[in-house]
Chains A and B, each alone.
Chain A
Amino acid sequence: MQIEFRDLMVNVATGGVDLDKQLPPVLLLHGAGMDRTVWSQQTRYLAHHGFAPMAVDLPGHGDSEGELLPTIAAMAEWVAGFVEKMGLDPIRLVGHSMGSLISLEVAARHPQTVERLILMGAAAAMPVHPELLGAAERNEILAPQLMTAWAHGSRAHVAGNPTPGLWMRSGCQALLERAAPDVIYNDLAACNSYEAGDVAARIECSVSVMVGSEDKMTPPKATAQLVAGFSEVDLQHLKGVGHMMMMEAPDQIRELLLQALR
Chain B
Amino acid sequence: MVEPDYLKFDTLSLHAGQEPDPTTGSRGVPIYQTTSYSFVDTEQAAGLFNLEQPGHIYSRISNPTVAVLEERLAALEGGVGAVCTASGMAAFHLACATIMSAGNHVVASRNIYGGSHNMLNLTMPRFGIQTTFVDPRDLDAWESAITPDTRVLFAETLGNPGIEVLNVPAVAEIAHSHGIPLMVDATFTTPYLMKPIELGADIVMHSVTKFLGGHGIALGGVIVDGGRFDWAANDKFPTLSEPYDGYHGITFSEEYGHQALSMRARAEGLRDFGAAMSPANAFHLLQGVETLPLRMRRHVENTESVIDFLETNDAVSWVSHPAVSSHPDHELAQSLLPHGAGAILSFGISGGREAGRRFIESVQLASHVANVGDAKTLVIHPASTTHQQLSAQDLTAAGVGEDLIRLSVGLEDPSDIIADLARALRASQKG
Residue B254 is within 8 A (CB to CB) of chain A in the complex: yes
A174, B52: Cβ atoms under 8 Å?
A: no
Question: What chain A residues lie within 8 Å of B74 (beta carbons)?
Answer: 165-167, 170
Q: Are A149 and B5 in contact (CB under 8 A)?
A: yes
Q: CB distance A48 to B47 under 8 Å?
A: yes
Instruction: Answer whether residue A13 sits at the interface, using C-beta atoms and an 8 A cutoff.
Output: yes
Contacts of A17 in B (CB 8 A): 248-249
Inside 8 A of A146's CB, which chain B residues have their CB? 2, 4
CB of B232 closer than 8 Å to a CB of A: yes
Interface digits, B42-79 against A, CB 8 Å rule (1 contact, 0 not)?
00001100111111100001110011101100110011
Measured CA separation A162–B19 after assembly (Å) = 12
Q: For the complex, what is the distance from the CA of A16 to the CA of B66, rounded to whole Å?
A: 28
Within the complex, which residue of B5, B247, B262 is in contact with A16, where a contact is CB–CB below 8 Å? B247
Closest B-chain residue to A131, C-beta based? B2
Binary contact readout A166-207 vs B (1 if CB under 8 angstroms, 0 otherwise): 110111011101100000000000000000000000000000
Say yes or no for A159: interface residue by CB 8 A criterion: yes
A142, A165, A173 — most chain B CB neighbours (10 Å): A165
Q: Which residues of A contact B167 (CB under 8 A)?
A: none
* B322 proximal to A (CB < 8 A): no
Q: Is the CB of A159 within 8 A of B256?
A: no
Question: CA separation between A171 and B248, bound complex, in Å?
Answer: 25
Q: Which chain A residues border B230 with CB–CB below 8 Å?
A: 178
Is A148's CB within 8 Å of the partner chain B? Answer: yes
Whether A164 pairs with B7 at a CB distance below 8 angstroms is: no
Q: Is A45 touching B82 in the complex (CB atoms < 8 A)?
A: no
Q: Is A37 located at the chain interface by the 8 A CB criterion?
A: yes
Bound Cα distance A131, B1 (Å): 8
Q: How far is the CA of A43 from the CA of B53 in the complex (A)?
A: 10
CA distance A25 to B324 in the complex (A): 65
Per the bound structure, the CA–CA distance linking A210 and B237 in Å amounts to 38
- Known contacts: A132-B2, A174-B226. The answer to whether A167 contacts B16 by CB under 8 A is yes
Q: Report the separation of the CA atoms of residues A174 and B77 in the bound assembly, to the nearest whole angstrom.
A: 12
Please report the total number of B residues contacting A with Cβ < 8 Å: 55
B window 196-255: CB within 8 A of A = 226-228, 230, 232, 247-251, 254-255
Residues of A close to B54: CB separation below 8 A: 41, 161-164, 250-251
Residues of B within 8 A of A155 (CB): 19
Q: Across the interface, do A165 and B266 meet the contact criterion of CB distance under 8 Å?
A: yes
Give the nearest-CB partner of A165 in chain B: B70
A129 to B66 CA separation, bound complex (whole angstroms): 39
A159 to B68, CA, bound (A): 8
Chain B minimum-CB-distance residue to A164: B62
Interface residues of B in 1-35 (CB under 8 A from A): 1-2, 4-7, 15-19
Interface residues of B: mostly helix, strand, loop or mixed?
loop
Mark contacts of A118-146 with chain B using CB atoms, 8 A cut-off: 1 yes-contact digit, 0 otherwise. Answer: 00000000000101100000000010011
Nearest chain A CB to B7 CB, angstrom units? 6
Output the nearest chain A residue to B265 by Cβ-Cβ distance. Answer: A165
Given A45-B52, A170-B227, A175:B16 Cβ within 8 A: no
Check: B257 CB closer than 8 A to any chain A CB: yes
The reply on B80 being an interface residue by CB < 8 A is yes
CB within 8 Å for A161 and B71 given contacts A166-B80, A170-B79? yes
Q: A1, A43, A159, A166: which contacts B18 (Cβ < 8 A)?
A: A159
Closest to A39 in B: B255
Q: Mark out the residues of chain A between 4 and 30 whose CB falls within 8 Å of any chain B CB in the assembled complex.
A: 11, 13, 15-17
Is B157 close to A, CB under 8 A? no
The CA of A68 and the CA of B193, in the complex, are separated in Å by 39
- B7 to chain A: closest residue by CB: A157
B51 to nearest A CB, angstroms? 6
Complex Cα distance, B82 from A145, in Å, reads: 20
**Interface membership of A44, Cβ < 8 A:** yes
Task: Tell me whether B83 is interfacial, beta carbon within 8 Å.
Answer: yes
Known: A37-B259, A159-B15. A167 touches B226 (CB 8 A): no
* Cβ A40 vs Cβ B256 within 8 A: yes
Instruction: Name which residue of chain B comes closest to A37, CB basis.
Output: B257
Judged by a CB distance under 8 angstroms, whether A254 is at the interface is yes
Expressed in whole angstroms, the Cα–Cα distance for A158 and B248 within the complex equals 33
Of chain A, the residue at the smallest CB distance from B12 is A158
Evaluate contact between A165 and B2: CB separation under 8 angstroms: no
Chain B 250-288 interface mask (CB, 8 Å, partner A; 1/0): 110011111100100010000000000000000000000
For residue A59, CB closer than 8 A to chain B, the reply is no
Residue B382 lies at the interface, judged by CB distance under 8 Å to chain A: no
Q: Are B257 and A167 in contact (CB under 8 A)?
A: no
- A-B residue pairs in contact (CB < 8 Å), sample of 13: A16-B251, A16-B255, A37-B258, A44-B51, A158-B17, A159-B68, A161-B71, A164-B54, A167-B17, A170-B78, A171-B227, A175-B258, A177-B228
Q: Which 5 A-B pairs have the closest CB atoms?
A: A174-B227, A164-B62, A37-B257, A167-B74, A149-B4
Chain A residues near B (Cβ < 8 Å): 1, 11, 13, 15-17, 35-37, 40-41, 43-45, 47-48, 62-63, 129, 131-132, 142, 145-146, 148-149, 155, 157-167, 169-171, 173-175, 177-178, 250-251, 254
